[in-house]
Structure 1
Amino acid sequence: MGKFLTEFKEFAVKGNAIDMAVGVIIGGAFGKIVSSLVDDIIMPPIGWLIGGVNFSDLKVTLPAEKIAEGIQMKSATINYGNFIQTLIDFLVIALCIFLMIKAINKILRKPEPEPKKEAPAEPTPTEKLLTEIRDELKKK
C-alpha cells in the first residue's frame, strides 16, 4: 500500500497532472461564459431577426398515449432549440481553442533559417565548349 501511495503522490504532484486540473477548472468556467454569451447575447438577436423566436422554446411535442380514461402522460418533447444553442456553444468554444492554439504555435514556432544561396556551379566541359562555339558564331 505504501508503494501505491508513493506512486500516486508522484503522479499527483507532477506538473502535467496539476496543469491538467487547472485546465479542467478553467475550461468549466470558460464553458459557462460561452454558454452565457450564446444564450444571452448571440441567440436573442438571431431569434429577433427570424421573427421573435426564442430558441430555448423550440421543440416538437410527441403525442401522449392515454393510460386510463381522463389520465394522460406528460408529453415527451424533442427540444431542438436547446440543441441548436448547445451546438453554437460548441462552435464558439472550438473557434476560441483553435485561435488560442494557433497563437501559441505561432509564438513557439522557431523561425526557419533562410536557405543559403548556392554559388553557380562551374560549367561542364561540354557547356564550356558550347559557349565558345556560340561566342565564335556571334563574331561572324
Structure 2
Amino acid sequence: MGMISEFKEFIAKGNVVDLAVGVVIGAAFGKIVTALVDGIVMPALSVMTGGVSFKDWKHVITPAVTDASGKETAAEVAIRYGEFIQVCIDFLLIAFVIFLFIKAYNRMRTPAADAAPPEDVLLLREIRDSLKK
C-alpha cells in the first residue's frame, strides 16, 4: 500500500475529521467567549474595582524616562499582571462553558443498548450452568 493511499485512509477515518471539526468550532467558540469576557465580564469587574481595567494593572519596576521636550528616551519596565489575570478569567470561563456544554450533551445522549449475545454463547452458558449442577 502506497503512502498516499495510507494517508487517504487515515484522513477518511471519522475520528480525524471529527477532531478537525472540533478544533475549528473550538477556535470560533473561544473567540465568542473572549468577546464576552472583554465586552461584558471585565467591564463589570472594572466597575467593582474602582473603574480600573485589569489590563492596566501593573507593577512598575522602572518608570519611563522622558527628556526636556517630553520625548520618551527609555521605555517603562513593568510587570503587567493584569493581563495575566484577564487571560486566566478567560480560560476559566471557556472551561466552565465547555463543561456545561459537555454536561448537557451527555444528558441528551442515550446509552447504547447492549447487543444480545449470540445464540451459541447462550447455548454454551446453558451447558456450563447444567454441568455445574
User: For 2:82 and 2:97, how far apart are their aligned partners in 1?
Assistant: 23
- Fraction of identical pairs, as percent: 50
**Match of 1:8, SS?**
helix
For residues 38-80 of structure 1, what are the alpha-carbon distances to aligned partners after superposition, in whole Å with 9 as ceiling and x for unaligned?
111111111112211111111122237x9xxxx9653332221
Residue aligning to 2:82: 81
Shift of 1:88: 1.0
Q: Following TM superposition, where does structure 1 have runs of at least 4 consecutive aligned residues deviating by more than 3 angstroms?
A: none
Question: Structure 1 residues 98-107 or 29-38, which shifts more?
Answer: 98-107
- For 2:59, the equivalent position in structure 1 comes to 60
Which residue number in structure 1 is paired with residue 26 of structure 2?
27
C-alpha separation in 1, matches of 2:78 and 2:4 = 49
Deviation at 1:109, TM superposition (A): 4.5
Normalised to the residue count of structure 2, the TM-score between the two structures is 0.69
Letter in 2 for 1:11: F
What's 1:103 paired with? Answer: 104
Q: Which residue of 2 aligns with 1:44?
A: 43
| Structure-2 change in CA distance of 1:60 and 1:108 (3 Å) | same
The code of the aligned residue for 1:92 comes to: L
Query: How many residue pairs align between the two structures?
Result: 105
CA distances 1:77-108 after superposition (whole Å, capped 9, x unpaired): 22211111111111111111111111122222
* Cα distance change, pair 5–77 in 1 and its aligned pair in 2 (3 A): farther
AA aligned to 1:88 is I
Q: TM-score, normalised by structure 1?
A: 0.66
Paired amino acid for 1:14 = K
**What are structure 1's unaligned runs of at least 5 residues?**
111-140
Which amino acid in structure 2 is aligned with residue 102 of structure 1? K
Equivalent position of 2:120 in the other structure: none
Alignment root-mean-square deviation, CA? 2.4
Larger Rg: 1 or 2? 1
